[in-house]
Structure 1
């Protein structure tokens, strides 16, 4: 993934790679670790993780032993989860390219 992708997509791609390389139940980085690694806000990290939660790729628990873990769906169907994430990333990337193009046209018109 290129560095010009939105921060939440960069974070999502990083976590998706960890999921692809991990096993069901493996602990994923904490919100704080992801915020520090990507110099991101809590909102950006939450935005990155929501689709992963929705697809069952990660599960979240609360409490002292809580956190984010690789979910059973990701372990059972890693390719389908990763295909869905790839589709979301490609859609967002296309939207970003379109927005950049439109911004360039607006700047040229001024």
Structure 2
């Protein structure tokens, strides 16, 4: 029978919930960076439209913000014992709002045909 200390010591092991959460945050930030690049390369790099530039810059900023939120959450998850309240919903709400705005820019680029 494992003790509570053993369960908390396994947080950093691969395959644990914390490790899967870390990987999902990294995957999300990489996907955002890739989508920003795809917005720029939608037609060509010679004359990207203003909307393409805004979308690419927004995606870059969103990717950086995602990495910042990831690093803060990772630092909290490595604390032992965990703080009583370790989930602040504000950064996630900001990320969701920014992602929806980026989606609107991408959909408007698709609709405009650029």
Normalising by structure 2, what TM-score? 0.40
Greater percentage in helix: 2
Greater percentage in strand: 1
Structure of larger gyration radius? 2
